[in-house]
Structure 1
Amino acid sequence: MKFTGLTDKSITDNNIHDSKYSMQFLELLTSKQVNKIIHQIDALSSHWEQRNMDLPFFTLGAASYLDSSRVSNKRYYNKLERLNPILWANFEWLYDLVLGGLKQITGKECQLADGQALPGFHIFLAHQQFLEPVASMHIDLQHQTLLWPEGQQIDLKQNTLSFTLALALPESGAGLNTWPESHKDLMAMPFWSTLLGSAEIQSKCRYIEYQPGQMVIHSGQLLHQIAPLREYNPLDRRITLQGHAVLCDKNTYLIYW
């Protein structure tokens, strides 16, 4: 496995050197392994869940940002009880590779979080509306709605991770839009939610290109968004493995979705 790091020049020019702004790129899978995973995902299509009634956006697995909230996380925990065994039976070898890669990147122990959803898959089929920015601009805070073990020191504020492992990508490419603003930055802005579509925010956008078999890792604490399609092709698909992590007892990352 080979990894590289990237910090946005516009961020460093502003004298911001916090690790939450950095991106790491890890070449994790061979093309043969990528094809094997895609074949397994297709074989499990009966377990895909459509997340938008008007668009062909599906997930395979329980996703905390969709299935849990500050009001209730019952749906999330019910769903993972059904889907975790299916994911584990088909992708145990993949999770082993992901954990090894994250350990290489972070220098800390990494393990799947007991009682939480296993990393799962985003599946976007072709649709012309995906040429528009239909995905929300957001910061990953869903770990704050989940149940974590008592008696362990879980860092829910700073030492977090988010990762995407690209598998199937459109011919014109796919990636992530990112901005230098953190959650703290946004909370300090008056009426920040109205600024997300502003020219001032959009001018800071940096596009991160995905590559099949490559895992992109960041803190989740910078503003980001699934980038719109560049071109529409009715045969295209966008399939990625998604996951997050929190730091436990200052030495072990707990991986979940």
Structure 2
Amino acid sequence: MAGADSVLARVMALRGSWIGRGDRDRTQFHTLGAASYLDFCCSDDPRRDYLERAPEENTLLWLEFDDLYESLRSTLENHLGEPVAFTDVFALPGFHIFMGEAIASAARAPVHFDGQYQYLPWERPLDLVPPISFTLPISLPAAGGGLDLWNLTPHDVRRAGDMGMDTDIDRIKDRKHKTFHPYSRGVMALHSGLLLHRIGDVGPMGPRDHRITLQGHGVRVDGTWLLHW
């Protein structure tokens, strides 16, 4: 992978292009690049906010991080043993940027599955294989960072509903085994986004802490993995 120090310097230099999420005047949570879970799934106008915004954001990302994207593509291709490419119409993998207290707030966000790929307007049917999600830590707080995972899938929730059982994810997860997977700066973490997860809670954050990660997903179409965010 491209060096974390080099990538961090470029992300920080592009601060004027960060997209504030939440209170635009005070937010400590930003993205660099469009994100389908925010700009498509949570938008009143997904065409404007994601389908039209993504190509514009992609132009900047390609210009600044072409070496990182090629490294990401080739690394995943070697790991998966199948072709890997980027889509022409959806957002490139982009950056989550959490500063200060926003890091701890993210660890209190709702647990979730990465199911947003199901709602994007793919031009061809997806192959019947599980998707992938990945995180590449660029900068981590002094206390570290990681991912909380629960042994629970959407299939488990649907099956519980079919059997007339409780389908409240927060209550179900409390009966499931949770594991914490620590991140290492510059080392990609790869998993199926269909395991219940959330940003890991590593304790109190200081005002100078920041957590910057490259985020993305992949689905397979006609034997080729298409990376997006």
Structure 1 and Structure 2 fold alike (TM over 0.5): yes
Q: CA 1:242–1:85 in 2, change beyond 3 Å: closer, same or farther? A: same
Aligned residues: 221
- Corresponding residue for 1:142? 116
Pair 113,83 (structure 1): closer, same or farther in 2 beyond 3 Å: same
Q: TM-score, normalised by structure 1?
A: 0.80
Q: Which residue of structure 2 lines up, in the alignment, with residue 207 of structure 1?
A: 180
| Cα distance in structure 2, aligned partners of 1:245 and 1:124 | 23
Structure 1 residue aligned with 2:139: 168
Give the C-alpha shift of residue 232 in structure 1.
Answer: 1.9
* Distance in 1 between residues matched to 2:102 and 2:84, nearest whole Å: 39
Residue in 1 that maps onto 2:9: 39
Kindly report which structure 2 residues correspond to 1:1-257, keeping only aligned pairs within 5 A, or say none: 28-29=1-2, 33-53=3-23, 55-69=27-41, 73-74=46-47, 75-127=49-101, 130=104, 133-149=107-123, 152-155=124-127, 158-189=129-160, 190-193=165-168, 195-196=170-171, 199-201=174-176, 204-249=177-222, 251-257=223-229
Which ranges of structure 1 fall in alignment gaps of 5 or more residues? 1-27
What SS does the aligned partner of 2:206 have? coil
Q: CA RMSD in A?
A: 2.1
Give the deviation of 1:186 after TM superposition. Answer: 1.6
Distance 1:132 1:84, change over 3 A: closer
- Please give the per-residue CA displacement for 1:152-174, whole angstroms capped at 9, x wherever unaligned: 4423x633110000110011110
Letter of the aligned partner of 2:101 in structure 1? H
Give the SS at the match of 1:192.
coil
Structure 1 contact 62–80 (Cα < 8 Å) conserved: yes
TM-superposed CA distance for 1:198, in Å, is: 5.9
| Pair 46,131 (structure 1): closer, same or farther in 2 beyond 3 Å | closer
Greater strand content: 1
1:226–1:76 CA distance, 2 compared to 1 (3 A): same
After TM superposition, which residue ranges in structure 1, 4 or more long, deviate above 6 angstroms?
none
Matches of 2:135 and 2:190, distance apart in 1: 7
Shift of 1:105: 1.2
- TM-score, structure 2 as length reference: 0.89
Gaps of 5+ in 2: none
